[in-house]
Amino acid sequence: MTETPAPKTILLVSGLSGAGKTTALKTLEDMGWEVVDNLPLVLLDRLLDTPLAAGHSEADERPLAIGIDARTRGFDANAIVRRIKALREKHGHDVETLFLDCSGSELERRFAETRRRHPLALDRPAADGIARERELTAPLRRWAAQVIDTTTFSSNALQQEIRNRYARERLSDPVLTILSFGFSRGVPRNADLMFDMRYLRNPHWEDALRPRTGQDAEVAAYIAQDPAYEDSIRRIEELLATLLPRYAEGGKSYITVAFGCTGGRHRSVHVAERVARYLQDAGFSPTVSHRNMESAPQDALEKRRPGGPKAQS
């Protein structure tokens, strides 16, 4: 008699061409996942029913990541959604969907840099293929439990994001990231909460502090002298201590709290470091990331010197 296969952990990885699916799957494979890319949907049952090799037990079962996108034979986003529901409800498999998104302009830039043709626009501009693929995959994006926008991600940043989200020993608490960034270099797309630190005094206009960062004690002391600093940051810390447990109770797995200033090198870095220490002392386990801290200081980005004319571009 044929045994019923044990429930499996399955991650369906999809998204737009050029958004990072290959990088995500390679990272999962490096983490110990079994990875299959571009599997036709009609072969999914056969794959799941395939027994382990001789000498292996269910304890050796690895989580399974399946890559699928608009290039996959027989691709039908609505049919895939129905298949996911069936895998959960009829077979008891733990199925989750990850969708990798990206802005159209960034995808066009990536295709131009690599000199690759978009798979859905081999004889037309890449923008046509991107628009078509976005339309075809829309049901999957709406259904996906996790969406990662890779517009501002490097390959290394996406790899780290995948490791944080899909380590095999997953924690019950949400993965908490404290991020600093510069508004002049773009707003982070994956932030759940965002705080603007541009109301604080700006170390950029002090010659001795300009080349330093918010991790330096002198910069931190300068920012802390702002009359609004202590009360406002304390209120933010208290707000986060109240909100973060509620997010966890609601089942949110990943939380990114972003602090921004103009260039992303001084005020946002210092406040992110301080808030992370506060949250750590309060029992949370934050990871700190400084997106623009290593960027070169530029007067043109800072717009205006206090008490003086606009900076010259």
Say if residue 25 carries a ligand binding annotation: no
CA distance 79 to 171: 32
Please classify residue 49 by burial: count the beta carbons closer than 10 Å to its beta carbon, then call 0-12 exposed, 13-18 middle and 19+ buried: exposed
Assess contact for 259 and 171: CB atoms under 8 A. no
Residue 45: C-alpha distances to residues 34, 57, 84 (Å): 16, 20, 12
Give the DSSP letter string of 112-137: HHHTPPPTT-TTS-HHHHHHHHHHHH
E strands, 40-189, in order: 64-67, 94-101, 146-149, 175-182
Backbone φ and ψ of 50, nearest 5°:
-70, 125
288 strand-pairing partners: 178
Say if residue 250 carries a ligand binding annotation: no
Say if residue 262 carries a ligand binding annotation: no
Say if residue 193 carries a ligand binding annotation: no
Comparing CA positions, the residue from 97, 118, 98, 91 lying closest to residue 107 is 118
CA distance 129 to 134: 8
Say if residue 15 carries a ligand binding annotation: yes
Tokens 């999962």 locate to: 28
Say if residue 263 carries a ligand binding annotation: no
Tokens 């205006």 locate to: 304
Say if residue 69 carries a ligand binding annotation: yes
Say if residue 71 carries a ligand binding annotation: yes
Phi-psi label, residue 199: left if phi above 0, alpha if psi -120 to 50, beta otherwise: alpha
Say if residue 22 carries a ligand binding annotation: yes
Comparing CA positions, the residue from 12, 133, 115, 136 lying closest to residue 65 is 12
CA terminus-to-terminus distance, the chain = 77
Say if residue 19 carries a ligand binding annotation: yes
> What stretch of H or E contains 184?
none
Binding residue ranges:
15-22, 69-72
Binding residue ranges for ATP:
15-22
Binding residue ranges for GTP:
69-72
